[in-house]
Structure 1
Amino acid sequence: MFSSRVALSAAVLVLAAGLSACTPIADVEPAPDAANPDCATVMVSLPSELADQQQRETDSQATTAWGEPSKIILRCGVPVQGPTTEQCATVNGIDWILREDESTWTATTYGREPAVEVIFDPQEVSSSTLLVQLENAISRIEPTRECVSTNDLQLPAQ
């Protein structure tokens, strides 16, 4: 009886090791404020599937990735963006500063501390889908500022 339990336990361990090897851990650099307690609140609220991509484990605090290879990378605790003239989009009540590079886009929350950054390839993942799906987790950080447009500004009379 004892030997059959040992054999069964060994088989379970081998299976678990084999399953964990199927999806390698993504190497993601942590953000400077990754230890912020509000990041933990965001991280536990993230969806396991985002824009049809499965979440994977990463090797650093307050980070995650979706897809194999990674199609979406999220880091919490990135530097908070001050006032800017960069493109700002409001999606389901969350303000995002959008930056386009040659092959990736970066969306960084605006008006929330700590800030959350999402890096993705817009050819493979729809920005509107992933930003909508992140609303529940990101809304756990209370906004302190919001994006404004030139239409919102009160200019002095001349």
Structure 2
Amino acid sequence: MSSFPRARRRHTALAVILATAVLALTGCTPIVSLDAAAGSNAVGCAEISVRLPDTVGGEAQRETDAQATSAWGDPAVILLRCGVPPIGPTTKPCITVNGVDWVLMNDPADKSLVYQTFGRTPATEVIINHVSGVSDTVVLPDLASAIATVKQTQKCLATKDADPASSPTATQTPTPTPSN
């Protein structure tokens, strides 16, 4: 009897063990736990969710456990939640990136930057851990095409352009648009 069948069985067994190990290792990245926003079941959130890029700011997309959310990076350094309540008039800084108006919701010196879309319902929130080296000047352009699937009904306006009597829904303090 030849040793060929026994060698073949060993190779097959080894191949099965290696394939199992590879599958096990690819499943080691844990799911990112996020809370769904109140309006996460909006049709607009579904439109955005299916168009989100696989990479944002050079970081790979991760699986999340909540509807209309996404995360990028390991550890997650970019978080997205669609369906947050839209904001109204504000004096917070607003920037326009590839046709999408974003309001900076917190102090730019904070560890994480929180941006929210302006003039779109449902609204989308993006949290960027900028201490990690990921820049909002890269992240926001990467998300623009997905976010733009929700129609914008209001635009950010500069203070000089805003007349409170005729335009009560304008964001009044824009900052320069990041370059692409």
Q: What TM-score does the superposition give when structure 1 sets the normalisation length?
A: 0.85
Larger radius of gyration: 2
Amino acid across the alignment from 1:112: R
Which of residues 139, 146, 155 in structure 2 aligns to 1:146?
155
Q: Does 1:107 align with 2:115?
A: yes
Q: Which residue of the partner structure matches residue 136 of structure 1?
A: 145
Moved more, 70-79 or 96-105: 96-105
Which of residues 21, 26, 45 in structure 1 aligns to 2:51?
45
Q: CA offsets per residue over residues 31-89 of structure 1, 9 Å max, x none?
A: 11011111011011111010010000001100010000011000000111111111111
Q: Distance in 2 between matches of 1:154 and 1:100?
A: 25
Shift of 1:155: 7.3
Q: Percent identity?
A: 41
Q: Distance in 2 between matches of 1:41 and 1:155?
A: 33
Matches within 5 A, 1:1-158: 15-21=22-28, 23-101=29-107, 102-123=110-131, 124-154=133-163
Q: What TM-score does the superposition give when structure 2 sets the normalisation length?
A: 0.76
Mark the runs of 5 or more structure 1 residues left unpaired by the alignment.
Answer: none
Shift of 1:109: 0.2
Q: CA offsets per residue over residues 89-120 of structure 1, 9 Å max, x none?
A: 11111000002342111010000000000001
Flag the 1:59–1:152 CA change in 2: closer, same or farther, 3 A: same
Flag the 1:154–1:38 CA change in 2: closer, same or farther, 3 A: closer
- Give the secondary structure class of the aligned counterpart of 1:97: strand
